[in-house]
Structure 1
Amino acid sequence: MTEQVANKVMVFDKNAAFSDANRYKSWSPGASGWANLSDCRIRDTSQFGAIGLAAASGGRVGIWNITDEKDQELNDVLWSATPGGNPHALERIPDIGAFVAASSDGYLTVYGPTAVSKPSTLAQVQRVTLAGAHGVLWDPNNKLLWACGNKVVQAYTVSGTYRNVRITASSKKVALSGLGHDLQPDYSNSDRLLVSDSYGVYSISKSTLSKTTLHTTTRIKAYVKMRSGEYFYVRGDNAGSRDWGSPTVVFSQSADRTRSGAEFYKARYYATGFN
């Protein structure tokens, strides 16, 4: 999860209390530009193994090396950038080593490398308008990049390699009722995307583009369905100085977990692989 009070990415076993003693991993950037961590996810690479991807409303996006240490810090960062606006998500396009950031001010920013195995060579190569851009997700089966924004989930084709990589809006898109917040794979169904907006949570078929309402709960900031079929989410509680967050992660089949004084914004399944 991204926990914005301590400003850390924290990993816990869902079956144990979310206490410091029970943490499996953590990452603390602890530097200017990383305030209010807004997204995290892990991806697999041939060069570094598992890496963490993060976006922060303070202005930065970046990746860090998930080492054998329990706690990672700023010195484990492999690359970072300032896409502008209010960064809300970062995704990796495998094989070509490109990254795409979503900024809620209304655009996607594409970064291309000169060498796939060297994140330090990444540089901005493109910016694409998407009103209210909040979520971005790579679709390995269809080789598409999906993004959610204001009242839409939009698919993009990817062309080129290295510094010539570009994304182009495709004809595949699905209307939402409100501002899209979170976009995740359905780990239990490779044809499905899961997206939340201001009014609920929806399942979208990547093949037919049909949309099914799963929940009408409002203010869902993160929603994930695991391979077992269990789902969990974070709902903005409209309380405190960060009314978009919550100290509680809600589970459908397990005990809810609350960390006193915390403000979780995103919660993720600790797995690199999905379809």
Structure 2
Amino acid sequence: MDLTRRTLIKTAVIAGAAPAALWTGQGAASASATYEVAVCEQYHNQIQIHSSSSAWGTPSWTWSPGQGGWSNLSDVKFRSTAAFGEVALVAASGGNVGIVDKAASGTQGTGSLLWSAAPGDNPHAIERIPNIGAIVTASSGGYLHVYGPTAISDPSTLALVQTISFAGAHGLWWDDVNSRLWAIGQDKATSYAVSGTYRSTRLVSGVNVSIGSGNLGHSLDASYSNSSILLASHSSAVVAINKTTHAVTTVHANGAVKSFSQDASGESFWVQATGSTYHGDTRNWVNPTVQFFDAGGAKSFTRGLSYGAEFYKARLHSTNFH
């Protein structure tokens, strides 16, 4: 039985069961639900938004920061703010992280950045703590960096206030059900409480959840069909982590999945690293297509770009996360 079906995920979480889902067979050739997908596309080094229900061509929204510290875009999340409306949180393995004003005219270059920093050490994730406007970043070199503002409505006032050693730091997600900040890296995911505000913001009282010895965590994401869990990918599987009990349930038993997301319809999609021949390089961490699954967990269709793509992550474009 496949645990990506909404009712089965809920049952597994409640019962604490942990069977591995075997994703076999083929489902529908196109999405039965329509939702938007945001991708980190490294061939053109862009954040792009596409619809699930049609072939991908010209994106509905694009952010192109150039190269240098913005090379190899590695993470994107969209969040609502009182001062700017919707913003995009972005990270790049080249060393930079930032907040993009999504509504700003001119999404080419870095002119739409509301704030940026250069934590270095291969940034892989970024998250915002709502109501206090703090930003947390994860660098795979082994660090979480916390940035606190002096004015919640002014991201330009953000400054580094805390650095935490965290081996293999790759993924971050804010759990607004329990008001906890989750991070994932080598062998574990950790849930942090947040204390203080403004420049006194700190991550405290970390609770560790094992993802298995030898597993490097890649991503964290919400299940938009079940607010009691987080979806995580690591070296050998995709798993669901119960936010309250911390029970870990296997959703899919294949590895090398760089990101995994699930829509409210129960449909899901991932980027699984297979490598790419674009550039004639050896980028073994990307895939030229995004694989979609129907609500029953069967592979249904893929999306790619006719002009070439190297996808690293794909997420549901939504600010209504949980």
Shorter-normalised TM range: over 0.9
Match of 1:231 in 2: 268
CA distance in 1, matches of 2:241, 2:44: 34
User: Alpha carbon RMSD of aligned pairs, Å?
Assistant: 1.4
Distance 1:68 1:128 in 2: 33
1:94 correspondence with 2:140: no
Say which of 63, 85, 109 aligns to 1:27.
Answer: 63
After superposing the two structures, state which structure 1 stretch, 99-108 or 247-256, moved more.
247-256
Tell me if structure 2 keeps the 8 A contact 1:174–1:209.
Answer: no
Question: Do structure 1's residue 154 and structure 2's residue 190 form an aligned pair?
Answer: yes
Q: Larger deviation: 166-175 or 244-253?
A: 166-175
Q: CA deviation at 1:269?
A: 0.4
Give the counterpart letter for 2:217 in structure 1.
G
Divergent runs of 4+, >6 A:
none
The corresponding residue for 1:247 is: 288
**C-alpha separation between the residues in 2 aligned to 1:237 and 1:63?**
30
Q: Which whole-Å CA distance do the structure 2 matches of 1:95 and 1:218 have between them?
A: 36
- What code does the residue aligned with 1:140 have? D
- Structure 1 residue 216 displacement after superposition: 1.2
Are 1:179 and 2:216 an aligned pair? yes
2:224–2:321 CA contact under 8 A, matched in 1: yes
CA distances 1:115-158 after superposition (whole Å, capped 9, x unpaired): 00000000000000110000011111111000000010101110
CA distance in 2, matches of 1:104, 1:8: 21
Paired position in structure 1 for 2:314: 267
Asked if structure 1 preserves the Cα contact closer than 8 Å seen for 2:104 and 2:112, the reply is: no
Answer yes or no: is 1:143 the counterpart of 2:179: yes
Q: Which residue does 1:15 correspond to in 2? A: 53
Segment drifting more, 104-113 vs 239-248:
239-248
Q: Which residue of 2 aligns with 1:4?
A: 42
Q: What SS is found at the alignment partner of 1:33?
A: helix
Distance in structure 1 (CA, Å) of the matches to 2:109 and 2:86: 15
For 1:24 and 1:46, how far apart are their aligned partners in 2? 24
Q: Which residue of structure 1 lines up, in the alignment, with residue 229 of structure 2?
A: 192
Q: Which has the higher contact order (CA 8 A, sep 6+)?
A: 2
Unaligned runs of 5+ in 1: none
State percent identity of aligned pairs: 48
Deviation of residue 172 (structure 1)? Answer: 4.6
Distance 2:140 2:54 in 1: 34
Could you list the per-position Cα deviations for residues 80-108 of structure 1 after superposition, in whole angstroms to 9, with x for gaps in the alignment?
A: 00112010000000110000000000010
TM normalised by structure 2 equals 0.82
Preserved CA contact (<8 Å) 2:89 2:100: yes
Give, in whole Å, the separation in 1 of the partners of 2:188 and 2:266. Answer: 26
Whole-angstrom CA distance in 2 between matches of 1:91 and 1:103 = 12
Q: What are the Cα deviations for residues 37-68 of structure 1, in whole angstroms up to 9, with x where unaligned?
A: 00011000000000000000000000100117
CA, structure 1 residues 128+68, in 2 after alignment: closer, same or farther (shift >3 Å)?
closer
Question: How much has 1:173 moved relative to structure 2?
Answer: 2.4
State the aligned residue count: 273
Higher Cα radius of gyration:
2
CA drift of 1:258 comes to 1.8
Corresponding residue for 1:206? 243
Q: Deviations over 1:190-212 (max 9, x none)?
A: 11010000101001111111111
